[in-house]
Amino acid sequence: MEGRTHSSAPPSIARRDVARTMKLVETNLPFTTAKSNQLYQRTLGVLIEASSSSSRGPANFGEYPVFMERGRGSRIFDADGNQYIDWMMAFGALPLGHAHPEVVEAIAEAASTGAHFATATAIELEVAEMLQKIVPNAERVRFANTGTEAVMAAIRLARGVTGRPKILKFEGHYHGWHDDLLVSSNVMPAAALGLRTDPIKIPDSSGLNRTALDDTIIVPWNDIELLRRAVESHPGQIAAIITEGIMANMGVIPPAEGYLETLQIIARANGILFILDETVTGFRIAPGGCQQHYKLSPDLVTFGKALGCGLPVAALVGRAEVMDALQWGGVLHYGTHNGSRMGMFAARANLRVLTRDNNASFRHTWKIADRLCSGLRDVFKKKGVSAIVQNVGPMFQILFTDRPAIRDYRDFCRYVDRAAFQKFVLSLFPLGVYTSPSAALHSIVALAHNEEDVDLTLAAAEKALGSS
Ligand code: PMP
């Protein structure tokens, strides 16, 4: 990203005509991010890493991050006026795309009638009832603000209800930034991981409570035998097994066939609660998430991201028998902003749109993702580039690797070329395509994306890979 001169205001995006695709791909040319750079310089000495989360700063972008200014539908616009097709969609928090009119209206209504009453509200009840209809195991619902908070509540609940101390988590899974599970979820050199049979627990941060990880058991994912062994070697001690339904923090890695079902059986047989973390997969893979898609019946499920359609809304749902322990005098769960009125209004509008016409939005995102992913595979093949595209419906990631598939964290650490990914993604920016330059994250198809977005992206990908 160079701070070259900016040509003029971005031309408006023409529609339909695929023959004009190559021209549209050049919307941002000559490309400059000079204003982003100026803003970045101002952040020095004020903000850390120019933002409020380490995953948004210069570490991913090279010199400085692109400063985004506004979004509409599938498009996002930066401070220099560059326009991009946005495949990142706020880490998946925007299942409808940017500024969906019904969500905007809902937020405005809530804002103009009072943002927060700190009492019970009918809107909270209404959204909870919607969740009960949409999510199979949602016998009870508690709202929170972030995925991290929902998972923290789930862990405390599991320990409280079972009276057991340990939590089993998988390598490469991320469940938020709280102490208990902040281990082995960052990409590391393969040599640091230890043996599959006895993985080294690698804390992801300094400053963790010294004993925080003592009760955390780490197991490689997608391997039933290793899971069985870990459970057998801690009889009566494991409160919960927590898993992402689809790995979404090491690119996109689907569960092996029957894996989650067998995990559930092992948990049940050993009095262990099964927590399914659907912070990413919820309201994305299917209306009822991975739970519905893979026909699971977890005890507890956590949601975040897509639920609030850009506002901080998360939820913990689950079996009444377990969830009811959250009552006063049992397992404590507080939060000033839990179930906030604006968030609830946004969530209601969001869920209405997502489930409209017999869940048409899900059919749309799966179809668009299919076109995009198969198109990208064709482009890489045509260009002779060693890259694969892994996806489950609208979640996808490009993995620069010479392996036919990436099956777990260890594969990712060993075989994925993250620098090549970053280079590729950054070369798409001038061509009007945006996604996170972090190979360990993933991209998202939202309701706002259409076939033209796909065709433009494929043309940009082909151009970025050169004329060879
Ligand atoms: N669980 C999973 C699977 C996630 O991917 C994330 C965030 N990427 C979280 C939990 C934490 O959610 P939040 O960032 O909203 O705290």
Q: Which atom of ligand 1 is nearest to the CA of 244?
A: 3
- Mean pLDDT, range 209-231, rounded to an integer: 97
- Reported as a single tens digit per residue, the pLDDT across 339-372 is 999 999 999 999 999 999 999 999 999 999 999 9
* Domain span including residue 54: 32-81
Q: Which atom of ligand 1 is nearest to the CA of 147?
A: 12
Here the tokens at position 449 are 């994306």
Q: Is the CB of 293 under 6 A from ligand 1?
A: no
- Of 81, 115, 145, at which residue does a domain stop? 81
Residue 396, in any domain of the structure:
no
CA-nearest of 141, 162, 167, 139 to 152 is 167
Of 50-59, 80-89, 194-203, give the lowest mean pLDDT range: 50-59
Instruction: Give the Cα separation of 65 and 44 in Å (integer).
Output: 13
The CATH number assigned to the domain holding 320 equals 3.40.640.10
Residue 4, in any domain of the structure:
no
- Reported as a single tens digit per residue, the pLDDT across 144-175 is 999 999 999 999 999 999 999 999 999 999 99
Model pLDDT, residue 200: 97
Which residue has 């650490």 as its token pair?
413
Q: Is the CB of 318 under 6 A from ligand 1?
A: no
When comparing pLDDT for 58 and 467, which is higher? Answer: 58
Model pLDDT, residue 9: 30
148 CA to middle of ligand 1, Å? 6
Instruction: Give the Cα separation of 431 and 1 in Å (integer).
Output: 12
CA-nearest of 70, 71, 39, 81 to 57 is 39
Which residue has 């739970």 as its token pair?
291
147 CA to middle of ligand 1, Å? 5
Residue 14, in any domain of the structure:
no
Residues 190 and 43 in one domain: no
- Of 331, 351, 371, at which residue does a domain stop? 351
pTM: 0.94
Residues 70 and 186 in one domain: no
- Write out the catalytic residue numbers: 174, 277, 305
Instruction: Give the Cα separation of 152 and 176 in Å (integer).
Output: 8
Residues 204 and 270 in one domain: yes
Q: Is the CB of 438 under 6 A from ligand 1?
A: no
Residue 242 pairs in a beta bridge with 275
Residue 394, in any domain of the structure:
no
Model pLDDT, residue 467: 64
173 CA to middle of ligand 1, Å? 10
Residue 436, in any domain of the structure:
no
Residues 63 and 212 in one domain: no
Q: Which atom of ligand 1 is nearest to the CA of 176?
A: 11
Model confidence at 16: pLDDT above 70:
no
Residue 165, in any domain of the structure:
yes
- Of 307, 328, 351, at which residue does a domain stop? 351
Residues 155 and 248 in one domain: yes
Model pLDDT, residue 256: 98
Model confidence at 8: pLDDT above 90:
no
Residues 169 and 274 in one domain: yes
Best mutation site among 56, 60, 148, 179 for ligand 1, i.e. most ligand atoms within 8 A of its Cβ? Answer: 148
Residues 60 and 191 in one domain: no
280 CA to middle of ligand 1, Å? 7
CB 449 within 8 A of CB 368: yes
Residue-averaged pLDDT of the chain: 94
Residues of the chain with pLDDT > 90: what percent? 91
Here the tokens at position 345 are 């209004």
φ, ψ of residue 201 in degrees (nearest 5): -80, 120
Model pLDDT, residue 152: 98
Q: Is the CB of 280 under 6 A from ligand 1?
A: yes
Residues 308 and 173 in one domain: yes
Confidence of residue 23 (pLDDT cuts 50, 70, 90): low
Residue nearest to atom 12 of ligand 1 (CA): 147
Residue 198, in any domain of the structure:
yes
Residues 282 and 163 in one domain: yes
Q: Is the CB of 289 under 6 A from ligand 1?
A: no
Here the tokens at position 208 are 């963790």
φ, ψ of residue 275 in degrees (nearest 5): -105, 120
- Reported as a single tens digit per residue, the pLDDT across 260-291 is 999 999 999 999 999 999 999 999 999 999 99
Residue nearest to atom 7 of ligand 1 (CA): 176
CA-based angle 37:43:45, to the nearest 5?
130
Domain total in the chain: 2
Instruction: Give the Cα separation of 422 and 341 in Å (integer).
Output: 39
Here the tokens at position 352 are 């209405």
Residues 76 and 111 in one domain: no
Residue 233, in any domain of the structure:
yes
Residues 234 and 335 in one domain: yes
The end-to-end CA distance of the chain, in Å, is: 23
- Exposed/middle/buried for residue 402 (C-beta within 10 Å: 0-12, 13-18, 19+): exposed
Residues 46 and 126 in one domain: no
Q: Is the CB of 175 under 6 A from ligand 1?
A: yes
304 CA to middle of ligand 1, Å? 7
Model pLDDT, residue 403: 98
The residues, any chain, with a CB within 8 Å of residue 316's CB and separated by 6 or more, are 141, 142, 144, 150, 153, 154, 157, 300, 301, 302, 303, 323
How many residues does the structure list for the chain? 468
Model confidence at 460: pLDDT above 50:
yes
- Reported as a single tens digit per residue, the pLDDT across 318-333 is 999 999 999 999 999 9
Q: What DSSP line would sit under 387-423, residue for residue?
A: EEEEEETTEEEEEE-SSS---SHHHHHHH--HHHHHH
